[in-house]
């Protein structure tokens, strides 16, 4: 599969020869994201401005090329994969922080800006950017907007959509639109909310206005240690019943925390069945009182010990263990498949038991590290792709886990997106009428199915049959 020569020349004329990749060896690097699916694009193009993106979409439309926007490729549902071939538009070179407006607590950034770089840029002013995915040192804000990414601290602060105030985006027909603004309440329909989480299927975002948060006066990070996983899971709901909402409640089960401790030496107990990593922020006096309340609830629910980080270095080490949890798995497995289901807090213990049973049935040693505060489960299924059938077995087990999450009153994704991984499960989650309305929204923005075809909507509701040429059949 190769891009037409005349189309390639036009792409190079717009962004320069060094802004286009078309050799097979280069394209190999863009055939996957952080998930398990693969598909090879026909070209990868690197714009530097909104004007470049406009021109690239005109070329794509002229030559009937599918277009996939891509950030850092850290996504976990196949969202940045060129399933129908065509071109990937990588925003890696659109990586400038365009404005920092502390007086209005706003920043304006290009989509290729790394998530953590916003916080690093505004920290000297006493501010930070709240959404903090585990991949925040690598993932980009544009990708976060596409997937409506979350993170440990979004329990109290909310996910990406709660912190995006404006967008500049290019529609498939190359029209530029501006939505939202610095003001607190913009009249009209909430186009910012609609496009955030649309997974690159409606428009390509080229500028993002974000909300900045003032850094708290005090932070307390706690590690609650449990000898029974059920007790740790039940503690999450107990904290809510007690009227306590920390900024983060993360849970690691026994197998996961032992892998993390071996890799990072973060101070996690290797003999525990589970731990909760809990953090509270605010005024110093209030934080101390809240930490005391949390400790009491944890002990009442069966915690054998509750530790409080005694220094900033100790706190950072505890979070280093959590943030590097996925990497720690590489010490025991060549790769893994991670899921992203959501359940009510009261269903966490039951869901963990179901995950364990599914793992036993498929003979997969599933481990768990997840955002317990909002019930966002991340079961991790290790497998060896060199062994025939292991990937397929892991995928089937993952599908059963998501079906259980739906039955428990939850959802198939909390922050990773639907992408191509979960699209066939959309019919399990939504009735036919809802899927039809989602399709109408997609068609309204992208009637020619130019943008990210073969994602989100299940087969028959999506646009792969329109975009896919015979030679593109996977």
Q: Over the stretch 323-334, which tens digit does the pLDDT of each residue have?
A: 999 989 988 999
**Angle separating helix axes 312-323 and 254-264, nearest 10 degrees:** 120
Asked whether the predicted pLDDT for residue 6 surpasses 90, the reply is yes
Cα 469 → chain centroid? 30
181 and 234: one domain? no
In this structure, of 142-156, 207-221, 375-389, 454-468, the range with the lowest mean pLDDT score is: 454-468
Instruction: Name which of 271-285, 339-353, 458-472 the model is least confident about.
Output: 458-472
Domain stops at, among 324, 352, 386: 324
Given a cut of 50, whether residue 74 has pLDDT beyond it is yes
Mean pLDDT of the chain: 95
Distance between CA atoms of 86 and 182, rounded to whole angstroms?
36
For the chain, what is the radius of gyration of the CA atoms? 22
Q: Is residue 77 part of a domain?
A: no
Residues 142 and 165 in one domain: yes
Helix (H, G, I), strand (E, B) or coil at 20: strand
CB contact at 8 A, 124 and 102:
no
CATH assignment of the domain containing 342: 3.30.1370.10
Last residue of a domain, one of 294, 324, 354: 324
Domain limit, last residue, from 281, 300, 324: 324
14 within 8 A of 56, measured Cβ to Cβ:
yes
Q: Are residues 338 and 350 in the same domain?
A: yes
For residues 235 and 318, membership in a common domain is answered with yes
Question: Are 228 and 205 found together in one domain?
Answer: no
In a domain, 452, yes or no: no
Same domain, 255 and 271: yes
* Same domain membership, residue 202 and residue 110: yes
Q: Does residue 319 sit in the same domain as residue 339?
A: no
Band of residue 183 on the pLDDT scale cut at 50, 70, 90: confident
CA distance 107 to 104: 9
Residue 283 is part of a domain; what is its CATH number?
Answer: 3.30.70.2190
Asked if the model's pLDDT at residue 204 lies above 80, the reply is yes
pLDDT of 468 over the 60 cut = no
The confidence band for 469, taking pLDDT boundaries of 50, 70 and 90, is very low
Number of domains the chain is built from: 3
Distances from the Cα of 257 to the Cα of 114, 262, 264, 315, angstroms: 28, 9, 10, 16
Q: Which residues contact 352 (CB under 8 A, 6 or more apart)?
A: 229, 230, 233, 253, 368
pTM over 0.85: yes
Contact indicator for 399, 424 with CB cutoff of 8 Å: no
Domain that holds residue 299: 218-324
CA distance 366 to 389: 17
Q: Phi/psi of residue 216, each to 5°? A: -70, 160
Q: Give the model's pLDDT for residue 474.
A: 40
- Residue 226 above 90 pLDDT? yes
pLDDT(472) > 50: no
CATH code for position 191? 3.30.465.10
Residue 195 lies in a domain: yes
Q: Count other Cβ atoms within 10 Å, centred on residue 289.
A: 13
453, part of any domain = no
Q: Does residue 53 carry a pLDDT above 60? A: yes
Question: Token digits for 459?
Answer: 């087969």
Does 60 fall in a domain? no
Among 340, 123, 144, smallest CA distance to 216 is for: 123
Assess whether pLDDT exceeds 60 at residue 180. Answer: yes
Q: Is residue 461 part of a domain?
A: no
% of the chain residues with pLDDT over 90: 94
Note whether 304 and 344 are same-domain residues.
no
| Shared-domain flag, residues 105 and 203 | yes
The reply to whether 435 falls in a domain is no
In this predicted structure, the answer to whether residue 471 has a pLDDT above a threshold of 70 is: no
Q: Is 357 in contact with 400 (CB distance < 8 Å)? A: no
Q: Examine residue 474 and state whether it is found in any structural domain, yes or no.
A: no
pLDDT at 302 over 80: yes
The per-residue pLDDT for 80 is 97
Judge if 205 and 275 occupy the same domain.
Answer: no
Rounded CA-CA distance 260/318 in Å is 10
Give tens-digit pLDDT for 425-463.
Answer: 999 999 999 999 999 999 999 999 999 999 999 988 887
- What are the distances in angstroms from CA 160 to CA 35, 144, 145, 146? 21, 7, 6, 9
């Amino acid at each position: 599969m190769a891009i037409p020569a005349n189309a390639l020349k036009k792409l190079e004329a717009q962004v320069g020869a060094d802004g286009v990749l078309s050799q097979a060896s280069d394209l190999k690097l863009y055939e996957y994201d952080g998930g398990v699916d693969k598909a090879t694009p026909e070209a990868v193009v690197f714009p530097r401005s909104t004007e470049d993106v406009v021109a690239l979409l005109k070329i794509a439309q002229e030559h009937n090329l599918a277009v996939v926007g891509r950030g850092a490729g850290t996504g976990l549902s196949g969202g940045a994969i060129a399933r129908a071939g065509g071109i990937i538009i990588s925003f890696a070179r659109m990586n400038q922080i365009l404005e920092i407006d502390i007086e209005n607590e706003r920043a304006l950034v290009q989509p290729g800006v790394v998530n953590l770089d916003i916080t690093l840029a505004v920290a000297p002013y006493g501010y930070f950017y709240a959404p903090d995915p585990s991949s925040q040192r690598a993932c980009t804000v544009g990708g976060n907007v596409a997937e409506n990414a979350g993170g440990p601290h979004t329990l109290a602060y909310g996910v990406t959509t709660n912190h995006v105030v404006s967008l500049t985006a290019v529609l498939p027909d190359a029209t530029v639109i501006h939505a939202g603004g610095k003001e607190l309440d913009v009249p009209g329909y909430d186009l910012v909310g609609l496009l955030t989480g649309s997974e690159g299927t409606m428009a390509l975002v080229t500028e993002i206005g974000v909300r900045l948060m003032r850094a708290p006066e005090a932070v307390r990070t706690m590690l609650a240690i449990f000898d029974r996983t059920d007790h740790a899971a039940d503690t999450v709901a107990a904290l809510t019943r007690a009227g306590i909402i920390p900024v983060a409640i993360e849970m690691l089960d026994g197998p996961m925390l032992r892998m993390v401790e071996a890799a990072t030496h973060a101070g996690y107990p290797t003999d525990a069945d589970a731990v909760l990593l809990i953090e509270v922020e605010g005024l110093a006096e209030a934080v101390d009182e809240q930490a005391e309340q949390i400790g009491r609830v944890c002990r009442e629910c069966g915690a054998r010990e509750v530790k409080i980080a005694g220094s900033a270095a100790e706190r950072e080490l505890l979070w280093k263990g959590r943030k590097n949890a996925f990497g720690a798995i590489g010490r025991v497995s060549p790769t893994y498949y991670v899921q992203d289901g959501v359940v009510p807090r009261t269903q966490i213990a039951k869901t963990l038991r179901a995950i364990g049973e599914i793992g036993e049935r498929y003979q997969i040693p599933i481990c768990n590290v997840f955002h317990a505060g909002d019930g966002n489960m991340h079961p991790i299924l290790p497998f060896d792709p060199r062994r025939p059938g292991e990937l397929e077995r892991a995928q089937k087990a993952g599908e059963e886990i998501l079906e259980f999450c739906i039955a428990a009153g939850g959802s198939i994704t909390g922050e990773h997106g639907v992408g191509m991984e979960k699209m066939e499960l959309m019919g399990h989650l939504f009735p036919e009428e809802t899927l039809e309305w989602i399709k109408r929204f997609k068609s309204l923005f992208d009637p020619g199915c130019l943008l990210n075809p073969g994602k989100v909507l299940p087969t028959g509701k999506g646009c792969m049959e329109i975009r896919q040429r015979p030679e593109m059949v996977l």
